[in-house]
Amino acid sequence: MSYNGSGTFQINTSGQPVVTGTVISSTAFNSLTADLATGLSTAITKDGQTTVTANIPMANFKITGLGAATVGTDAVRYSQIQSGTDKLITVTGTDTLTGTMTPALTAYAAGNQFSFVAANTNTGAVTINIDGVGVKSITKNGSTALAAGDLTANSIALIEYDGTRFQFLNVGNVVGPASSTANAIPTFSGTTGKLLQDNTKVKIVSNNITMDGSTSGTLTVAASAVSGTNTLTFPANTGTAILDYSTPAFRNRIINGAMAISQRGTSFTTSSGSAYMVDRWQVGATQVSKITGTQSTTSATGFTYSQSLTVASAFSSGAADLFYLTQGIEGFNIADLGWGTANALPITISFWIRSSLTGTYSAFVRNLARDRSYIATFTINSANTFEQKTVTIPGDTSGTWATDNTEGINFGIDLGSGTNYNGTASTWTGSNVFRTSGSVSWVANSSATLFLTGVQLEKGSTATSFDYRAYGTELALCQRYYIKWTQTANSSWGIFEGWARTTASFRATAPLGIPMRASPTSSYSNVNINDGGAAYTVSSFTDLSTATTFAVQAAATGMTQYRPGSLGSNGSAAYIDASAEL
Which of helix, strand or coil describes residue 345? coil
Rounded distance between C-alpha atoms, residue 189 and residue 73, angstroms: 43
In this chain, which stretch among 111-119, 259-267, 289-297, 536-544 interacts with other proteins, using CB under 8 A? 536-544
CA–CA distance, 484 with 478 (Å, rounded to integer): 11
Tell me the window of 48-56, 98-106, 309-317, 523-531 that interacts with other proteins (CB under 8 A).
523-531
* Stretch in the footprint of other proteins (CB under 8 A) among 16-24, 382-390, 444-452, 518-526: 518-526
Q: Candidates 52-60, 142-150, 210-218, 517-525 — which segment interacts with other proteins by CB under 8 A?
A: 517-525
Q: Which of 524, 556, 565, 569 binds other proteins (CB under 8 A)?
A: 524
Residue 476, C-beta contacts closer than 8 angstroms, at least 6 positions apart: 513, 514
User: Using the rule CB under 8 A, is 523 a contact of other proteins?
Assistant: yes
Decide: is 12 part of the binding site for other proteins (CB under 8 A). Answer: no
With vertex at residue 182, the alpha carbon angle to CA 180 and CA 187, rounded to the nearest 5 degrees, is 100
Decide: is 400 part of the binding site for other proteins (CB under 8 A). no
Query: Which range touches other proteins (CB under 8 A), out of 52-60, 117-125, 339-347, 513-521?
Result: 513-521
Of 127, 128, 517, 565, the one binding other proteins by CB under 8 A: 517
- Quick check: 579 binds other proteins (CB under 8 A)? yes
Count of beta carbons in the 10 Å neighbourhood of residue 458: 23
Strand order in the sheet with 449-459: 267-268, 291-296, 306-311, 449-459, 347-355, 387-393
Angle at 283 between CA 281 and CA 286, to 5 degrees: 150
Q: Minimal distance in Å, beta carbon 430 to other proteins?
A: 22
Query: Which among 57-65, 106-114, 171-179, 537-545 is the span making contact with other proteins, rule CB under 8 A?
Result: 537-545
Q: Which residues pair with 158 in a beta bridge?
A: 115
Q: Least distance to other proteins from the beta carbon of 569, Å?
A: 14
> For other proteins, which residue of 525, 560, 561, 572 counts as binding (CB under 8 A)?
525
**Contact 408/330 with Cβ under 8 angstroms?**
yes
Count of other CB atoms within 10 angstroms of residue 124: 12
* Interacting residue with other proteins among 16, 137, 155, 406 (CB under 8 A): 406
- Least distance CB 246 / other proteins (angstroms): 32
Phi-psi region of 451 (alpha: psi -120 to 50; beta: other; left: phi over 0): beta
Return the closest-CA partner of residue 569 out of 508, 479, 483, 496. 496
Per CB under 8 A, the list member of 299, 327, 403, 522 interacting with other proteins is: 522
Return the DSSP state at 181. G
Binds other proteins (CB under 8 A): choice among 396, 414, 474, 581: 581
Is residue 385 near other proteins by the rule CB under 8 A?
no
Tell me the closest approach of the beta carbon of residue 506 to other proteins, in angstroms: 13
Q: Which residues bind other proteins (CB under 8 A)?
A: 405-406, 517-525, 540-545, 552-553, 579-582
